[in-house]
Amino acid sequence: MADALKLKLSDVSSGYGAIDVVNGVSLAIRPGEIFALMGKNGMGKTTLLKTILGFLRVGKGTIEVDGAVITDSKPAELIASGVGYAPQELPLFQDLSIRDNLRLALKGDRDLASALERVYGYFPFLKDRLAQKAGTLSGGEQKMLILARALMLRPKLLLIDEISEGLQPSVVQNIAKALRDDREKRGTTILLVEQNLDFALSVADRWAILKLGAIEDESPNGPDSRGRVLQHLKI
Ligand SMILES: Nc1ncnc2c1ncn2[C@@H]1O[C@H](COP(=O)(O)OP(=O)(O)OP(=O)(O)O)[C@@H](O)[C@H]1O
């Protein structure tokens, strides 16, 4: 299919109970594209990612991955089919080592060695600290471990929720480089939810603003993007 989109949302609404938090969102993300979804606190960004992943029921609309409707798919099915997720909260097994946290991303140990080598390439500190318990890593190190774990499965589509939150600039740069490299090497399509517009615009090909659950603005990343996004994020 020449025009197959990696991810397509058509008029998607979802929420909690009777309340819609996401209101009629349509988005089209091409294969190999890095797309940044930004917006103020509480506008529905995380809710939208959880809806795509099947953690929340779609009330209205359809979601397609590679042209196939996945609206009613379960999270485990989506992850098995190549959708990766780096959530905003710290989802690590705090008492397990770095190695075991990474290992648990895979179904078996067959591809473990090569997957570990790949993520060490992005975040070399992991290799030196394999036995360290995840719960004793710094906040920034835990964020890198979360992203490394999402990358273990070689996702074709990667959904990332505010990975840069609370991180020092050098770590954010490291993460930006890892995302660009992974897209470069494997053609990974990335949907990035972000508040840090400098980070988002340093990696994104296109961006959109979510306001009260709806897309308020959308554009290819260009010279006027920073000013435009800033206007939307102003208090
Ligand atoms: N489990 C839940 N039950 C009820 N309401 C919820 C639940 N989770 C989130 N909400 C509400 O949905 C709205 C959108 O929240 P969401 O976490 O999607 O926003 P966000 O844009 O990701 O915000 P942030 O940038 O602060 O993470 C908020 O008003 C929030 O209080």
pLDDT tens digit sequence for 174-224: 999 999 999 999 999 999 999 999 999 999 999 999 999 999 999 999 999
Q: What would the pLDDT profile of 46-93 be if each residue is shown by its tens digit?
A: 999 999 999 999 999 999 999 999 999 999 899 989 999 998 887 888
Q: How far is CA 46 from CA 42, 50, 185, in A?
A: 9, 6, 27
Q: Cα of 20 to ligand 1 centre, how many Å?
A: 11
**Would you call 96 exposed, middle or buried from its count of C-beta atoms within 10 A (0-12, 13-18, 19+)?**
middle
Q: Which of 172, 214, 224 is nearest to 194 (CA)?
A: 172
Residue 160 carries which DSSP code? E
Ligand 1 atom closest to Cα of residue 50: 18
The pTM score is 0.93
Q: Cα of 22 to ligand 1 centre, how many Å?
A: 10
* ipTM of the shown complex: 0.96
